[in-house]
């Protein structure tokens, strides 16, 4: 039975959790394993609960109380997952040996990402501004283009966002709105000026407008035909693409 994908992603994002499994296997104690893995006792229990919930069967079997804060051991499934992770580490080392450049690995990460969002813009974090429980994350897209995403502070910490971190900005085509290129974007919205590359009419739905940006990336917007006609959009004409920071989803390579 293959390792469940959600469990794989969770471990990849938090390798400290697999270290916890290794220490549990070696020491048979939650307390000692937590200390060795650099986790609090509560953090170790929370980690075990998350891992057990993501797996088809529990990875850790434990007994509450007793000397050392309770005994614990890996289940057969836990032992199998640990062996598989160790094999994946060996394979990763082989991949690193044959990759000609770090950018090769970044490219593979982006190509393997599956999402329903039509627009995926690559950028780097250039600022993170706290706004209460949320953060406004500013991305540098290159060629002088920037955009902002509003996400929760918890998401910022989970994605480990900081200046220089490479991310993907995901935006659904229906969330984009088109405006005259000479005018400003609505207050608070992102505004990216690009050139219309293609207009695809759909008699049964919105018109698809593909807009090329100065950095070589492309945005796909879905706009009603009346609005496209009102703006006089044709291939080769500049247009302003606007969207709210709350409509930007951020993702980082595993």
What pLDDT digit, counting tens, does each position of 83-112 carry? 887 777 666 666 555 555 556 656 555 554
Look at residue 149 and give its three-state secondary structure: strand
Determine the Cα–Cα distance for residues 27 and 24; give it in Å rounded to an integer: 5
* CATH placement of domain 119-169: 2.40.50.100
CATH class label, 173-242: mainly beta
pLDDT at 41: 84
80, 57 Cβ separation under 8 angstroms: no
Sign of CA dihedral 165, 170, 171, 173: positive
Entry pTM: 0.61
Determine the Cα–Cα distance for residues 81 and 18; give it in Å rounded to an integer: 9
As a whole number, the mean pLDDT across the chain is 83
Residues of the chain with CATH 2.40.50.100: 119-169, 173-242
| pLDDT tier for residue 81 given thresholds of 50, 70 and 90 | confident
Burial 34-45 (b: 16+ CB within 10 A, else e): bbbbebeeeebb
Q: Does domain 5-98 have CATH number 2.40.50.140?
A: no
Phi, psi at 211, each rounded to 5°:
-120, 120
């Amino acid at each position: 039975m293959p390792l469940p994908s959600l469990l794989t992603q969770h471990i990849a994002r938090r390798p400290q959790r697999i270290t916890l499994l290794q220490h549990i296997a070696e020491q048979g104690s939650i307390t000692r394993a937590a200390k060795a893995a650099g986790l609090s006792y509560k953090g170790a229990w929370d980690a075990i609960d998350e891992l057990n919930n993501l797996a088809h069967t529990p990875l850790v079997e434990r007994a509450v109380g007793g000397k050392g804060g309770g005994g614990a051991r890996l289940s057969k499934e836990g032992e199998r997952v640990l062996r598989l992770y160790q094999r994946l580490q060996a394979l990763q080392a082989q991949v690193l040996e044959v990759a000609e450049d770090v950018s090769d690995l970044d490219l593979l990460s982006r190509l393997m990402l599956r999402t329903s969002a039509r627009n995926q813009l690559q950028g780097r974090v250039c600022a993170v501004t706290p706004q209460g429980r949320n953060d406004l994350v500013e991305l540098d897209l290159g060629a002088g283009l920037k955009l902002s995403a509003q996400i929760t502070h918890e998401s910022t910490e989970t994605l480990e966002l900081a200046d220089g971190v490479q991310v993907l900005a995901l935006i659904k085509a229906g969330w984009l709105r088109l405006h005259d290129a000479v005018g400003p974007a609505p207050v608070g919205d992102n505004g990216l000026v690009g050139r219309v590359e293609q207009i695809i009419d759909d008699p049964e739905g919105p018109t698809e407008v593909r807009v090329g940006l100065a950095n070589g990336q492309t945005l796909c917007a879905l706009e009603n035909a009346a609005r496209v006609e009102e703006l006089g959009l044709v291939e080769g004409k500049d247009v302003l693409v606007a969207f709210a920071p709350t409509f930007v989803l951020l993702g980082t390579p595993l």
